[in-house]
């Protein structure tokens, strides 16, 4: 865990109602900071701090700058964005238009806040097995989400390099932890296991080989990196946040089954025809995060999965 930020700050969190943003807001408030969470819809369960409803994809940059000035914001964290269940046009609005407006707004502030933008490993695309992806590597995203997130990161980088804003993009691995989105692989598996637990019967899971290897990272560690980025001046415009190791998705699923304690009946389903053996993976080099942020991951994937499961069963009984 990172040390608390040295002095109380006023931090605006875009997407404070989301998976990462909600935990970040709670941690900031615990450390004594003023937090303003910004999102389009008023949540039934507001995040820690104060909440203001703002449609970030349509609010004019000058209006957003005025709000940030009035709130005397010291740092802005962009944990907003969208992928699942959205059309390409909606993803463009949520990831590219929003960030462009945000960069313009921060640059227009009387005293521009520090900007921490949360990017994704999917901006890199894939790499040959055995290699690590470094911030200096040329990105080659293969999915639309990665392409749009890369465009957003490039918008932030241009503003930082031009001296218009002070900030950094944290390129996050595949984050795992409490509150895991239900549409993710682990979110789906947790729901099936919890349903079986509540019914008092074994969970029946149809599993493909799940040999894809990705850089998974714990949610608590991820938030630690964001806190470090808020507090620490950086010279690099982009910094990787991951474990620095690739892990097969099936390992995560098996860990989830183990920590749940739910009996399972697994049916092994063959991989789709023509898929063949894996020749590419995602594994990030995290040396720059240690150098510039003083951050290294400290929690195991088992701890990450256990946090996911404990939060899942707690929500089922609340």
User: What is residue 55's predicted lDDT score, i.e. its pLDDT?
Assistant: 86
Cα–Cα distance between 47 and 37 in angstroms, integer? 7
Active-site residue 124, yes or no?
A: no
User: What is residue 71's predicted lDDT score, i.e. its pLDDT?
Assistant: 97
CA-closest candidate to residue 236, choices 199, 289, 180:
289
Taking the alpha carbons at both ends of the chain, their separation in whole angstroms is 28
User: What is residue 83's predicted lDDT score, i.e. its pLDDT?
Assistant: 66
pTM of this structure: 0.95
Question: Which stretches of 200-248 are DSSP H helices?
Answer: 219-231
Helices (H) and strands (E) in the chain, counts: 10, 15
**With a cut of 50, which residues of the chain have pLDDT below it?**
none
User: What is residue 93's predicted lDDT score, i.e. its pLDDT?
Assistant: 86
CATH 3.80.30.20 fits 10-176+216-244+279-298, yes or no: no
Asked if residue 125 lies in contact with residue 146, where contact means CB atoms within 8 angstroms, the answer is yes
User: What is residue 318's predicted lDDT score, i.e. its pLDDT?
Assistant: 64
Q: 229-246 burial, b if ≥16 CB within 10 A, otherwise e?
A: bbbeebebbbbbbbbbbb
Please identify which of the residues 145, 216, 295, 309 carries the catalytic annotation.
145
Asked if residue 51 lies in contact with residue 42, where contact means CB atoms within 8 angstroms, the answer is yes
User: What is residue 274's predicted lDDT score, i.e. its pLDDT?
Assistant: 66
User: What is residue 90's predicted lDDT score, i.e. its pLDDT?
Assistant: 81
């Amino acid at each position: 865990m990172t040390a608390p930020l040295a002095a109380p700050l006023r931090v605006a969190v875009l997407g404070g109602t989301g998976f990462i943003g909600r935990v970040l807001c709670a941690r900031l408030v615990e450390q004594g900071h003023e937090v303003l969470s910004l999102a389009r819809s008023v949540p039934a369960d507001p995040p820690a701090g104060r909440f203001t409803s703002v449609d970030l994809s349509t609010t004019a940059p000058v209006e957003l700058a005025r709000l940030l000035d009035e709130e005397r914001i010291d740092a802005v964290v962009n944990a907003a964005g969208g992928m699942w269940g959205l059309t390409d046009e909606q993803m463009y609005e949520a990831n590219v238009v929003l960030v462009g407006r945000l960069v313009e707004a921060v640059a227009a502030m009387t005293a521009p806040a520090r900007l921490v933008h949360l990017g994704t490993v999917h901006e890199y695309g894939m790499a040959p097995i055995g290699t690590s992806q470094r911030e200096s590597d040329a990105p080659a995203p293969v999915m639309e989400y990665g392409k749009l997130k890369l465009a957003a990161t490039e918008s932030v980088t241009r503003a930082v390099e031009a001296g218009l804003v002070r900030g950094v993009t944290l390129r996050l691995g595949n984050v795992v932890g409490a509150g895991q989105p239900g549409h993710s692989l682990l979110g789906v598996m947790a729901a099936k296991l919890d349903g079986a637990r509540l019914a008092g019967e074994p969970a029946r899971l149809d599993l493909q080989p799940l040999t894809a290897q990705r850089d998974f990272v714990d949610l608590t560690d991820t938030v630690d990196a964001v806190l470090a980025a808020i507090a620490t001046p950086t010279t690099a415009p982009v910094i990787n946040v991951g474990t620095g190791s690739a892990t097969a998705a099936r390992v995560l699923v098996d860990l989830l089954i183990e920590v749940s304690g739910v009996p399972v009946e697994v049916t092994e389903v063959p991989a789709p025809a023509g898929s063949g053996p894996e020749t590419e993976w995602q594994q990030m080099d995290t040396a720059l995060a240690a150098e510039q942020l003083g951050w290294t991951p400290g929690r195991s994937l088992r701890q990450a999965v256990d946090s996911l499961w404990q939060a899942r069963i707690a929500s089922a009984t609340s």
